[in-house]
Structure 1
Amino acid sequence: MLGNRYAKKVRQKDEGEKPFWISFADLMTALMTLFLVVMAVSLMVVTKKINEATQAEEERTSEILDICTSMKTELAAKNPLITVDCKENRINFGEAGRFGHNDYRLNEAGIEALSTLVPVVLNAANSDNGKKWFKQIVIEGFTDTDGSYLYNLNLSLRRSEWVMCSLLDPNFNPNLTLTEAQKNQIKQLFLAGGVSFNAAKDSKEASRRVELRMQFYGLKDKDTAEEQPNFVSAPIEICQLPR
């Protein structure tokens, strides 16, 4: 009798514990399943964003290459002295873009090359792809290694400023005829900047040069394009450099 009574109590205890452990196991299984679902969805979202960003960057690169390639083809047909590097996004005029020793005045061949270049650049900037990505063109004047750093910095600034004067002041380049709208666009698109002798060439003659560096919007930069300062209303007047 005593043995049977104790055995019955043990069976009741086992039967009371079984539902608890079964529920706990189901809860852990459900939590693990939920975790896996959340992780799978998160991975899908991240992968989708990465693919979209990669595709957008590929489209941007392709469209910028189209801008540069079309300019390169057109300029090569009009003036063989002008070369366009679509890998570095740079434009140079070869010997036509060189300066004399301690001189900031561009030679006649360089001014002629500028006259050929400007309409092509403006057409490219006003194209569908150009309106999306063309940011600006930096005019970079270079010097040789003779003289002090600050002297050459001032000289390189004057060389880039001379190029800008040749774009906007008819007295410097009477062959270049621009409308007021085109002049305003040049004020926005072109930027004069000196770089001293930070990129000297093999010879001093080749170092004394001017180059144009094209800059394009990035995917994030495009959203802030409207925040750039506007110089359209600023008067042009005349160039301050002595001719």
Structure 2
Amino acid sequence: MFGMRASAAQRPKSEGEKPFWISYADLMTALMILFLVVMVASLVMMTQRIEAIEQGEKARANDIAHLCQRLQIKAQGLNRDIVVDCRDNRINFGEAGRFGYNDHKLGPDGQTALRQVVPLVIDAALSDEGKRWFKQVLIEGFTDTDGSYLYNLHLSLQRSEWVMCTMLDDRFATTSGLSQEQKRHVRELFLAGGVSFNNAKDSKEASRRVELRLQFYGLKDSTSGTRPVSFAATGAEKCLLL
């Protein structure tokens, strides 16, 4: 009888343990399923985000390519010296855009090429693609390897500043051929910057040149479509380099 009583007393304890272990296993299974669901959802969201970025980059590249190609066709129709490189987004002027030794001024052919290309760049910036992606135009003046680094850096800056002055100075209104509205866009878009001899060509003559580098907003740039004004000038503008 004592054995039967002991067995009867132990039975409820054994039966009480079984529901606990079953519920714990179910809990772990549920947590594992929940973890898998969260991981799958995260992977799907990441995949969609990557696809959206890739599509955005592709659309941006297509817009910039179309903009540059139109600019290239228009420039070729005006002047053969003007070369629009859509791979590097650069505009060079061939021999017309070369400077003399220790000189920061372009000749008449260079001034003519500038007068022709600047309105085209402004039109490109005001196009639908340009309003979305066009950031600015960097005027880069290059030098040869003669002289010290600081000397060439100063000379290259003078060359890029001279190009800016030629477009804006009121004394050269007839030379630049730009209206006041176009000059306003020049102030918004163009930026003068010295380069020195960091990108020398095969010959020293070819190295002494000016180029326009087209810069565009990136996909993540919050300022896209709200281009800031570089500087504002009032009254008559005069440049000491001219």
Q: What CA distance in whole angstroms lies between the structure 2 residues aligned with 1:115 and 1:204? A: 26
1:160 aligns with 2:160: yes
Match of 1:200 in 2: 200
Match of 1:117 in 2: 117
Q: What CA distance in whole angstroms lies between the structure 2 residues aligned with 1:140 and 1:233? A: 22
Q: What CA distance in whole angstroms lies between the structure 2 residues aligned with 1:224 and 1:71? A: 20
1:212 aligns with 2:203: no
Match of 2:25 in 1: 25
Alignment-mate amino acid for residue 72 of structure 2? K
The SS at the match of 1:221 is coil
Alignment-mate amino acid for residue 128 of structure 1? D
**1:21-60 Cα shifts (integer Å, max 9, x gaps):** 1111111111111111122222222222221111111111
The SS at the match of 2:176 is coil
Residues 185 and 106 (structure 1), Cα distance of their counterparts in 2 relative to 1, 3 Å cut? same
1:87 aligns with 2:87: yes
1:4 aligns with 2:12: no
Gaps of at least 5 residues in structure 1 are none
Match of 2:179 in 1: 179
Residues 143 and 236 (structure 1), Cα distance of their counterparts in 2 relative to 1, 3 Å cut? farther
2:132–2:224 contact (8 Å) kept in structure 1: no
Post-superposition shift, 1:117? 0.2
Q: What CA distance in whole angstroms lies between the structure 1 residues aligned with 2:239 and 2:155? A: 16
Residues 190 and 223 (structure 1), Cα distance of their counterparts in 2 relative to 1, 3 Å cut? closer
Gaps of at least 5 residues in structure 2 are none
Q: What CA distance in whole angstroms lies between the structure 2 residues aligned with 1:125 and 1:226? A: 12
Post-superposition shift, 1:230? 4.8
Q: What CA distance in whole angstroms lies between the structure 1 residues aligned with 2:209 and 2:173? A: 19
Alignment-mate amino acid for residue 12 of structure 2? Q
User: Once structures 1 and 2 are overlaid, which stretch shifts more, 30-39 or 226-235?
Assistant: 226-235
Q: What CA distance in whole angstroms lies between the structure 2 residues aligned with 1:217 and 1:63? A: 12
The alignment-based identity, stated in percent, is: 57
- TM score, norm. by length of structure 1: 0.92
2:170–2:237 contact (8 Å) kept in structure 1: no
Post-superposition shift, 1:236? 5.1
Q: What CA distance in whole angstroms lies between the structure 2 residues aligned with 1:132 and 1:140? A: 24
Residues 98 and 230 (structure 1), Cα distance of their counterparts in 2 relative to 1, 3 Å cut? closer
Q: How many residues align?
A: 242
Q: What CA distance in whole angstroms lies between the structure 1 residues aligned with 2:230 and 2:214? A: 19
Residues 128 and 224 (structure 1), Cα distance of their counterparts in 2 relative to 1, 3 Å cut? closer
Post-superposition shift, 1:154? 1.5
Alignment-mate amino acid for residue 19 of structure 2? P
1:168–1:236 contact (8 Å) kept in structure 2: no
Alignment-mate amino acid for residue 139 of structure 1? I
Q: What CA distance in whole angstroms lies between the structure 2 residues aligned with 1:111 and 1:233? A: 23
Q: What CA distance in whole angstroms lies between the structure 1 residues aligned with 2:192 and 2:114? A: 14
Post-superposition shift, 1:177? 2.5
- TM score, norm. by length of structure 2: 0.92
Residues 133 and 234 (structure 1), Cα distance of their counterparts in 2 relative to 1, 3 Å cut? farther
Residues 98 and 186 (structure 1), Cα distance of their counterparts in 2 relative to 1, 3 Å cut? same
Post-superposition shift, 1:235? 4.4
Superposed, 1:48-197 pairs within 5 Å as 48-169=48-169, 171-172=171-172, 174-197=174-197
Post-superposition shift, 1:148? 1.6
**1:168-188 Cα shifts (integer Å, max 9, x gaps):** 235446243222221111011
Q: What CA distance in whole angstroms lies between the structure 1 residues aligned with 2:4 and 2:236? A: 112
User: Once structures 1 and 2 are overlaid, which stretch shifts more, 68-77 or 2-11?
Assistant: 2-11
